[in-house]
Every structure is written in structure tokens, then in C-alpha cells.
Structure 1
Amino acid sequence: MGEMIELTASDGHKFHAYAAGDEKAERALVVVQEIFGVNQHMREIADHLASFGYRVLSPAVFDRAERNVELDYTPDGIKKGLELRAAIAESNVMLDIEATAANLSPRPTGIIGYCWGGTIAWWGATRSKSFKAAIGWYGGGIVQTKEAPIACPVQLHFGALDKGIPLTDVEAIKTSQPEIPVFIYEGADHGFGCDARASFNAEANKLAEDRSLAFFAEHLV
């Protein structure tokens, strides 16, 4: 099990991050939350990824709007999460991501995110030079900056049944970034990697996880 630590961004903002894994691990990951905060599910993901030999930090990016946010996967949770997301400037999100990466330096560090975090992981590849690899799981905002130049290898994962991220958006990303491996999971919906959601798809989650771990193993050297 990990613990909550406090980090400081370059603008002086102090925020929490869930820390898991050996502090002396040779490789590191930044795990970025969904719109539900660094809740039990995100902590479990961080612990799980740490078990593969990574030092893992999951920054509480909602701390800029409200601290100690842990939302449920309900309509009310979605509504509150969207409100919090809208209250935080993208540039400030990146200040927190950069501070998290700096805490893990000089280890080779990757970034992986889910839902909103999947989009932020994309920003980690396109708005930062702190990462050696980036992976986004069902990041709905990626298409908005699909032509942005990337600074590190990227891998993306989407569910074929995800109504919030239509396959036309996924195809547009693939067309704009033909060198990026983009995986589409048949029968999988948004949030297929979250066992706290009704949309959890064990088969798609396992395959996407295996691909993600192999990608990091290849590039975080």
C-alpha cells in the first residue's frame, strides 16, 4: 500500500499525490486520475503498477479546485467531476504534472492516464519533455489537439462502444499520427479498465494492460 505525499508546483501551489512502490525503483510512472479524483480505484491502479517494479505517483490535480476529492461512479459523481475539471486551467494541470515528474527525476519516467487522465497523458507527450513514454486510455480530449507534435513514444487505447469518443474521432487521431499505435477494443465501452464501473471489460482491460506494460518496458530504459 502507498501513502499520500505533498508536492509543490513551480507556481507555489501545494498538492497531494498518492505514492506507491519502492522509492529506489529504477523506473517511474505518473498515473493520472479520471474525473473522479485520486479515489480508491486510482490508488489500486497505482499500487498494481508499482508491483511491476515502478515508483508511481498519482497527482491529485483536483487539489487546485477542491482538496481530498474522491467521487463515486454515479451521475452525481460525474456532474461534480466535470465541474471540477472545468474549474482548472490546462496550463495549471501541466504545472502539477511537471512537478510530479520532477519528483521522480532522474529516473526514466512514463505517464499513463485514464479518461480525463488519458487526455492529460497526451499532453504529457505533446506539452512536456519530461517523459520517455506516454499512454492514454480512452482520453476524450485527445482529438482536439490530434495534430500536436509529440516529444516521446505514445500508445493509445479506446473502446469501440464508447459513445463519448466516437470511432470517427479515433480514426482522425490515427490519420493525424500514423506512427502511433492506437488500439480499439471491440465490445468495450468507456471506462473498460475500471472494475468499479458497470462498463468494466476484463478481457479488454487485460489486453490493454499487457500492451501498456510491454510499451513501458521497451521505452523506459
Structure 2
Amino acid sequence: METNSQWIDIDAADGKFGAYLSLPRGGKGPGIVLLQEIFGVNQHIRNVADQYAADGYVVLAPDLFWREGARIELGYDEAGWKRAVELMQATDFAKAQEDVRATLKVLRGLDAVGDAKVASLGYCFGGRLSYHTAANGLVDAAVAYYGGGIQNALNRAPEIKVPVLMHFGAQDDHIPADAVKSIAETFDGNEQVEIHVYEGAEHGFNCNHRASYHQRAAAQAHGNTLVFLGEQL
């Protein structure tokens, strides 16, 4: 896949951090802030950025673990998991939300985006962050893949005024079925919130670098996301 991508710097209140920018072939399009899993802006997340750029979006993926070290990239082996959990636990979630705010300011300011709408799209840790980004009123739409912890932040549900799409795997051992049920029940009366549960899919089903990759669920979720973004942006 031919891509037009580069790392750019973004100013935060307490320093500078990198973000991976991937541009569509046409050079312009609606914006997506892409929010990483707990493994950093690794090859998989950059591939996802390039994929959505190929779909016509201007994608910016901030390095949210920069305070612990610039551009940390982890794999999915035991050592990678151990370090990833440590990094997630060391991350100040309020500061991560401010980093997303700073990233969105830069994204909206790009000539490639212009006056177009922007969305947040996150996986795992980034899925939870995408939900909060919607609640913070920073985007025109939000997508959350297997966002762990959303069930613990349902007090923010009334703050969500934009369309939100959530994807969950039916076999996810990190997000129990009753958590998904509580999320679905909370948003039952909100027609702007769409929830999909994929049969046979585990946590991380979208990532083809992981043992839990589920090709059909990944394809369905990507299709559902493209339709949703096409309608909302």
C-alpha cells in the first residue's frame, strides 16, 4: 500500500510528543484521531492509520506513552504484554485526554482537513479514550473497539451528544458480557449510539499481529466503521 506518511511533533503543556500522520491519496479528507492500544503506535497502529488513509481519511495517531519514553513500540509476546500493562498503569488518563485534545487541535488545523469533520477511533485503551473524547465534546463522531473500562464510566453517558459506534467481541475475556450488557442498556434510548457484538471474536480481534485476530469480525467491523464514518463525516 503506497502511503504518504510521516511523524510530526505536537506541543503539550508539559513537553512535545510525536504523532504519526497518514494522508489519503487525494491529499484531503475528513480527519481521524487514531488512539493506540497499550502497545504504543506500533506497526499495527501505523498499518491501521494507513488503511484509513487509503479509505480517504486524514489520520493522526498520537504517541500517548511519550512521558515514559518517545515512540515506544511493543509486540504481543509475554514481555510486550508485561511492559504494556506497566505503561498503561503509569499513564495519567487526564493527561492522555489533554494529549488527545492537543492532537485534535493540530488535526483540525491541517490544510488536508480544512473545514471537514473529525472523528476519534480507538482500540482497547484507545477505545476507552475515544469514548471519553466523545464525552468531552471534542469530535463529531467516535468509534471504540473493545474499549475496556467504558462500563466504569457510564456516568458520562449523558455528556455524549455525538454519534458513537462500539465494537465488542463475544468471547472477549477482558470485557465480560455483563459489562457490554450494562453499556447497551445505558445507551438503549440513545439512537446515536450503535453497538455491535461479534460472535466468536476475542479481545484484539482486529489486530492481525495477534493470536486473537478474527478475520471475519475484523472485516465486518471495518465495514461497519466505514459506513458509520461515511454517514457521520
Query: TM-score, normalization: structure 2?
Result: 0.90
How do residues 48-87 of structure 1 correspond to structure 2 at under 5 angstroms?
A: 48-87=51-90
Secondary structure of residue in 2 paired with 1:103: helix
Shift of 1:12: 3.9
2:18 to 7, 16, 35: 16
Aligned to 1:164: 174
Cα distance in structure 2, aligned partners of 1:43 and 1:136: 17
- What amino acid does structure 2 have at the position aligned with 1:93? A
Cα distance in structure 2, aligned partners of 1:115 and 1:70: 16
Q: How many residues align?
A: 218
Cα distance in structure 2, aligned partners of 1:191 and 1:91: 24
Shift of 1:166: 0.7
- What amino acid does structure 1 have at the position aligned with 2:202? D
CA contact (8 A) 1:115 1:139 kept: yes
CA contact (8 A) 1:146 1:177 kept: no
- Describe the superposition over 1:186-205 as per-residue Cα deviations: whole angstroms up to 9, x where unpaired: 00000000000011011000
Shift of 1:66: 1.6
Cα distance in structure 1, aligned partners of 2:68 and 2:132: 20
CA contact (8 A) 1:114 1:139 kept: yes
1:119 to 128, 136, 145: 128
- Describe the superposition over 1:143-191 as per-residue Cα deviations: whole angstroms up to 9, x where unpaired: 1102312131101000000011011000000111112211100000000
Q: Runs ≥4 in structure 1, deviation > 3 angstroms? A: none
Secondary structure of residue in 2 paired with 1:63: coil
CA contact (8 A) 1:193 1:202 kept: yes
Shift of 1:24: 4.6
CA contact (8 A) 1:101 1:130 kept: yes
1:136 to 130, 144, 168: 144
Aligned to 2:183: 173
Secondary structure of residue in 1 paired with 2:180: helix
Secondary structure of residue in 2 paired with 1:64: coil
Query: Unaligned stretches of 5+ in structure 1?
Result: none
How do residues 8-47 of structure 1 correspond to structure 2 at under 5 angstroms?
A: 8-9=11-12, 11-22=13-24, 24-47=27-50
- Describe the superposition over 1:41-94 as per-residue Cα deviations: whole angstroms up to 9, x where unpaired: 000000000111111000000002221200000121111111111112111001
- What amino acid does structure 2 have at the position aligned with 1:48? Q
CA contact (8 A) 1:161 1:188 kept: yes
- What amino acid does structure 2 have at the position aligned with 1:44? N
- What amino acid does structure 2 have at the position aligned with 1:25? K
Cα distance in structure 2, aligned partners of 1:20 and 1:103: 14
Query: Unaligned stretches of 5+ in structure 2?
Result: 109-114
Secondary structure of residue in 1 paired with 2:33: strand
Aligned to 2:216: 203
Aligned to 2:112: none
Cα distance in structure 2, aligned partners of 1:190 and 1:156: 13
Cα distance in structure 1, aligned partners of 2:178 and 2:147: 14
CA contact (8 A) 1:147 1:176 kept: no
